[in-house]
Copies of this chain bind each other. A is one copy, B any other.
Amino acid sequence: MKRIMVNELNNYINEKIQIKGWVHRIRKLKSITFIILRDRTGLVQCVLNNEEINASETKLESVVCIIGTVKESKNNLNPFEVSVEQFNLINSSIDELPIEINKENLEVNLDTMLNNRMLSLRHEKLNSIFKIQNIIVEGFREFLNRENFTEISTPKLVEEGAEGGTEVFKVQYFERQAYLAQSPQFYKQMMVGAGFERVYEIGHVYRAEEHNTSRHLNEYISMDLEMGFVDNVEEIMDLEENLLKFILNKVTDEGKNYLEILKAEVPSLENKIPRIKLSEAIEILKTEYNKTGLEGDIDPEGEKLICKYAKEKYACDFIFLTHYPRKKRPMYTMPCGQLETYSFDLLFRGIEITTGGQRIHDYNMLVENIKKKGLNPDNYESYTSNFKYGMPPHGGLAIGLERITAKILGLENVREASLLPRDRTRLIP
């Protein structure tokens, strides 16, 4: 007998069917027992006659198979229920549940939620986060495929760090030392030059950052893109703006049910995202919010305030900050005069979700800039050599998947938007 999914039962009124799933809730009355069965598509009320079937000892979250008839019925879940004829236990829970997952909210702290990840993800609200996250990922892919981007997959085991700095994880690679890639930066540029012209990658990146905050993960998913033959950095911001519009529309359309479950409000992108220079933003923070002491970058509090400003002044949940100083940007960033660069951050609801910019495409300029940063060009030869053979002008950006998911859904901690987060102290489950 074929298994029918719960969300298809309305097509089987008065028919005999088989359903399988988990025991979500159980309530024994004098003559009947109600079991709420849950499968990946939803919940359904099943009614057992106590004289015929004794299922009242069944433990919550056991896996069961039910054969019965679908009957019209008014209940909280559906306009039908299943009148049970056979009830088979496939795999019983053998322990008391460490967390309650059949309440409206999962009322446990973050550590308990993550320690019991298989169970906590069965909760509708937590499950829905990842349904929305998948729509975001699909939106990213779909938009870029239409724009003739090619998906790539580049190594995470690398000989040198892309960004320099010490925040890299070391790997013993046979008799040598390797590192986990902090970003696909060098490789996505290389693939632009390899003739793909426009590439994207959705993959893990690794940051050995010591801080353990609600906005940091040590392994996270970066949605990276890089495009060749650009005329200026504005084009890259234009692309991101259109990309975000596409993603947000897709989330609104296809994620409706999940958004309702999560009581989340998708930001509107009807207005153009404001683009202001970082130096202006710092000035605004000083004059409007009396926030001083910022130079060349803004801190988390500044990010929150400038987003507040964008919301009030431009009615936009996003804001581009542009022209970051050369001192603060990596050596591959295209300079704009002596002090600034053609680069940007995108802030969204108080947090940076994107860093991007135009890159240097001229070999000599690149080598000079590496030196200017106090780095040794010899250490970057496998990267810089690509620039000797016709690298087109190009630029790109990266969006942190867990951050954008968390901010769209109003989650307090970026860990909630990771199936299995890795942080300063967490390596399991």
Q: CB within 8 Å of B: which residues of A? A: 3, 20, 22-23, 38-40, 61-63, 90-95, 97, 117-119, 121-122, 127, 130-131, 134, 137, 148, 150-159, 169-174, 176, 178, 180, 187, 190-191, 193-198, 203-204, 206, 208, 210, 218-219, 221, 229, 361-364, 382-383, 386, 388-393, 419-420, 422, 424, 427-429
Additional pairs, 13, CB under 8 Å, beyond known A40-B148, A171-B172, A174-B210: A20-B392, A23-B390, A90-B393, A91-B361, A91-B392, A93-B388, A94-B363, A118-B194, A119-B194, A157-B169, A159-B428, A174-B424, A382-B428
- Asked if B389 and A118 sit within 8 Å, CB to CB, the answer is yes
Q: Specify which chain B residues have a CB less than 8 angstroms from the CB of A391 in the assembled complex.
A: 63, 91
The listed residue (B151, B180, B190, B382) touching A171 by CB distance below 8 A is B180
Residues of chain B contacted by A159 (CB below 8 angstroms): 427-428
Q: Is the CB of B134 within 8 A of A390?
A: no
Q: What CA separation (Å) do A392 and B206 show in the bound complex?
A: 33
Q: How many copies does the complex hold?
A: 2
Instruction: Please report the C-alpha to C-alpha distance between residue A352 and residue B204 in the assembled complex, in whole angstroms.
Output: 27
- Tell me if B169 and A169 are in contact (CB < 8 A): no
Once bound together, how far apart are the Cα atoms of A391 and B121, in whole Å?
A: 13
Decide if A153 touches B187 in the complex (CB within 8 Å). Answer: no
11 A–B contact pairs at CB < 8 A?
A: A20-B229, A40-B196, A91-B393, A93-B388, A117-B190, A118-B193, A121-B194, A130-B196, A155-B420, A171-B180, A203-B204
Say yes or no: A97 contacts B389, CB within 8 Å. yes
Q: Are A173 and B389 in contact (CB under 8 A)?
A: no
Q: Are B392 and A219 in contact (CB under 8 A)?
A: no
A361 CA / B20 CA spacing, docked (Å): 15
Q: Is the CB of B229 within 8 A of A386?
A: no
Residues of B within 8 A of A420 (CB): 154-155, 187
Bound complex: CA A208 to CA B382 (Å) = 24
Interface contact A422-B194, CB-CB below 8 Å? no
The one of B131, B219, B363, B383 that contacts A155, using a Cβ cutoff of 8 Å: B219
User: Which residues of chain B are within 8 angstroms of A40 by Cβ–Cβ distance?
Assistant: 148, 195-198
Do residues A419 and B93 form an inter-chain contact, with CB atoms below 8 A?
Answer: no
